[in-house]
Amino acid sequence: MICKICNTEINSEPINVREMMFGLRTVHEYRECPNCEALQIVKIPDLGRYYPDNYYSFKKQPNADIRPTYLRKIKSSYLLYNRNKIIGSLLSIGYRVPEYTSWLKVAGVNYDDAILDVGSGSGDILSQYCRAGFTDLTGIDPFLQQEFKSSNGRLKLLRKSIFDEHTPGGFDFVMLNHSFEHMDNPGLVFRRLSQLVKPGRMLLIRTPVNKSFASKKYGIHWVDLDAPRHLVVHSVKSIGLLANANHFALERTDFDSTAFQFWGSEQYLRDIPLHDPASLAMNKNSSLFSKMQISKWRRLAEDLNKSGEGDQASFYLRRITE
């Protein structure tokens, strides 16, 4: 097998991983590249059965009448750009800033910038951006069941892949929010991304990270392997190699893993699928784990993020001129 990222010959031992999100328990073979450290599925199955109607990214359908409210716009302008300080600070008292707000702040995105969400699902994040006052929002997803356009024209969701998207001039901010690992041929994907992101602007890739503490600890039971939907599970090294080869500069890496890496993996060790009645994801009251244990895992996740060992990360990549 030849690595799809660095073209290294992979002779490592097979890693046989079961599908455990829905409890299908089909077995799928992966190999780890000795050079770039990415895990790659050997044979891609028919993926249709692995993305059922209740797959999490398709659950919420946006409201056609999405529009920003006056107060929401003030709050977002304060959180993102430190404007409207007095009213914005009052509106933000006790408010937990959503993670997706920090992505825009780090990337320096403005209200009228063109934003593309690759693998958007039913557009939950873009809907929030629309309500916050952003005006040029596009989501694409080849598995989208129904296309959508908001009544104010600010948000559209399209059933297409990254290779079908041909917006003239490109985008100011492109994000792959836990979708990159679902894509085959990462080199081709990155090459396409370099055509979609305007020079000087930002690409955000949020993805699980191989060679992390949890991936080493749990091996084939690591919950973020998510076979067979995750075709390539990247490492910090593989993201860096792809960036360098495709005119991107990796400016910042934020590890953002949660306690899920532990309780999800511990469930898989016990042969409990994510969508099982005994799963914490389905019923908190029937969980095998105490609140104290979950709290310990939450603190451990925070410590691992600080030390760069979390099992998920956000990679901020600046498109540079060729």
pLDDT in tens, the chain (322 residues): 999 999 999 999 999 999 999 999 999 999 999 999 999 999 999 998 898 877 765 556 655 556 666 567 677 776 776 776 666 666 666 666 667 888 999 999 999 999 999 999 889 899 889 888 889 999 999 888 889 998 888 999 999 999 998 887 899 999 999 999 999 999 999 999 999 999 999 999 999 999 999 999 999 999 999 999 999 999 999 999 999 999 999 999 999 999 999 999 999 999 999 999 999 999 888 788 999 999 999 999 999 999 999 999 999 999 998 6
Candidates 35, 20, 43; CA nearest to 210 is 35
pLDDT at residue number 285:
83
Does residue 153 lie in a domain region?
Answer: yes
Which structure tokens are listed for 115? 């934003």
Q: Where are the beta strands (DSSP E) in the chain?
A: 15-18, 27-32, 39-41, 114-118, 136-140, 148-149, 155-158, 171-177, 197-208, 232-233, 248-255, 312-319
Domain shared by 293 and 225, yes or no: yes
Going by the DSSP 8-state scheme, the letter that residue 9 receives in this structure is B
Tell whether 249 is covered by a domain.
yes
* pLDDT value for 95: 63
Among 183, 199, 223, residue at a domain's last position: 183
> What is the C-alpha to C-alpha distance for residues 211 and 233, in angstroms, rounded to an integer?
10
Residue 320 forms part of a structural domain: no
In a domain, 259, yes or no: yes
Alpha helices in 49-148 (DSSP H): 70-81, 85-91, 99-107, 124-132
Q: How far apart are CA 16 and CA 7, in angstroms?
A: 22
pTM of the model: 0.90
Q: Are residues 177 and 101 in the same domain?
A: yes
- Residue 321 belongs to a domain: no
Domain that residue 129 falls in: 54-183
Strand, helix or coil at 205? strand
CATH of the domain at 64: 3.40.50
